[in-house]
Amino acid sequence: MLNQSTHHRLRHFCPSNGKHACRQPIRWHYYLPMALQFGLTPNTAPASEEQLANILADPGFCDYYTDHMALATWKDGEGWFDDGIVPFAPFQLHPAAAVLHYGQEIFEGMKAYRWADDSIWLFRPEENAKRFNQSARRMMLPQIPTADFMTAVERLVATDSRWVPQGAGEQTLYIRPIMFASEAYLGVRAAKVCTFCVIAAPAAMYFSKDGVKPVDIWITDEYARAGIGGTGSAKCGGNYAASLIAQYEGYEQDCAQVLFIEASNKDRVEEFGGMNLFVLKDGKLLTPALTGTILDGITRRSIIQVAADLGIPTAECRITPDDLYSFVQDGSITEAFSCGTAAVITPVNAFKTKQAQYQLAQPLGAVTMAIRERLVGIQFGHVEDTHSWMQRVV
């Protein structure tokens, strides 16, 4: 076996004409980009079985992190190197690291599910890899090949598989890949040194650990999270920073989430701070169309498919705030829910604005719950996975 640094050096010494006398096992380096291995450096002080049992008995939402993390570094002109699964530890970051100043950063959110037979699965992980690279492009961060992204996630989950909870109460291992500008440089340009990292943490249900509970939604007409041409469709930390003030406005109204309206014309509802929106109008499932200002959620896309499988008609369209209010009021919109990886599907009880409150007729609606049950069923292996969405890791 070659160690990581040998691997790295060989990439630069092997000329592309194939004449160089590389040793036999690495001949493929002549014509294939080097796949990252994410070799393991074991944590010599992992959580004890007793500590882990206590954590898994009440994991909260990402209150504890696993024993390891995946790490790789990228340098302009060199590509990715120093990849590995290493002991979980804080970063040493230069105070001039560009991410701390200019927010050049992206992330992903995905989950590992333990099935009844103890096998462990990911849900549509390549979609996360693809979106990660789309976000990277928008934020001038480097691309990471899908295969390398997948190796990092799979090897981390396999290494820390004892941290994946039993599926009771929809508990999962939440996985968080990130990439950020780690170069120490205060000039404004795309960083020439970046860090890729994947961490993981056991997670109970996001909003409520005692089952699905409808939540109230605050609709802000003052703050926006994204605008046309902005970063709304990239999964970057800045979008979340921009959404927090409205989130806290919502908390003051006893609302768990905030729904944002398109910023310039205020003529379409878009999405929540970190989740997409669906409403059920006259038996048809509607979701705001992707306009570049909305995050293209994998849960959103999967729900459109699951609804079709259940024979529920769906449409991606424009939903104006006035339509939303009047259709909830006249009873043609009966159900609404938010969706995303972290909270799966959370039903809406009521929409609140500064002026009024709009109570849903069926806050724990039958259609919402049927879609939820089918999607979660696929993820935990209780429902047949007809679209080959699940990928086995262990």
Q: Which residue has the tokens 């699951």?
A: 306
Size of the site for ligand PLP (CB under 6 A): 14
The distance of closest approach from Cβ of residue 302 to ligand PLP in the complex, given in angstroms and rounded to an integer, is 8
Q: For the chain, how far is it from start to end, CA to CA, in angstroms?
A: 24
> How is residue 18 written in tokens?
């194939």
Residue 341 touches ligand PLP, criterion: CB under 6 A: yes
Write phi, then psi, for 355 (nearest 5 degrees).
Answer: -90, -35
Residue 109 touches ligand PLP, criterion: CB under 6 A: yes
The distance of closest approach from Cβ of residue 292 to ligand PLP in the complex, given in angstroms and rounded to an integer, is 13
CA pair distance 22, 197, nearest whole angstrom: 31
Residue 300 touches ligand PLP, criterion: CB under 6 A: yes
Q: Which of 144, 109, 166, 73 is nearest to 380 (CA)?
A: 166
Closest CB to ligand PLP among residues 276, 349 = 276
Residue 172 touches ligand PLP, criterion: CB under 6 A: no
Residue 111 touches ligand PLP, criterion: CB under 6 A: no
Gyration radius (Cα) of the chain, Å: 23
- Asked if 72 contacts 180 with a C-beta cutoff of 8 angstroms, the reply is no
- Asked if 293 contacts 230 with a C-beta cutoff of 8 angstroms, the reply is yes
Closest CB to ligand PLP among residues 239, 379 = 239
The distance of closest approach from Cβ of residue 273 to ligand PLP in the complex, given in angstroms and rounded to an integer, is 6
Write phi, then psi, for 12 (nearest 5 degrees).
Answer: -85, -25
Closest CB to ligand PLP among residues 79, 274 = 274
Closest CB to ligand PLP among residues 43, 133 = 133
Interaction with ligand PLP in 215-254: which residues (CB under 6 A)? 235, 239
Residues facing residue 347 across a β-bridge:
337
The distance of closest approach from Cβ of residue 300 to ligand PLP in the complex, given in angstroms and rounded to an integer, is 6
Closest CB to ligand PLP among residues 193, 258 = 258
The distance of closest approach from Cβ of residue 96 to ligand PLP in the complex, given in angstroms and rounded to an integer, is 28
Closest CB to ligand PLP among residues 195, 239 = 239
Torsion of CA 62, 64, 68, 71, to 10 degrees: 50
The distance of closest approach from Cβ of residue 6 to ligand PLP in the complex, given in angstroms and rounded to an integer, is 38
Residues present in the chain in total? 394
Q: Which of 67, 146, 60, 140 is nearest to 102 (CA)?
A: 140
Q: Which residue has the tokens 């630069």?
A: 12
Contact mark string toward ligand PLP, 260..299, x via CB under 6 A: -----------x--xxx------------------x-xxx
Q: Which amino acid is at 23?
A: R
Closest CB to ligand PLP among residues 334, 341 = 341
DSSP 202: E
- Contact residues toward ligand PLP (CB under 6 A) are 109, 235, 239, 271, 274-276, 295, 297-300, 340-341
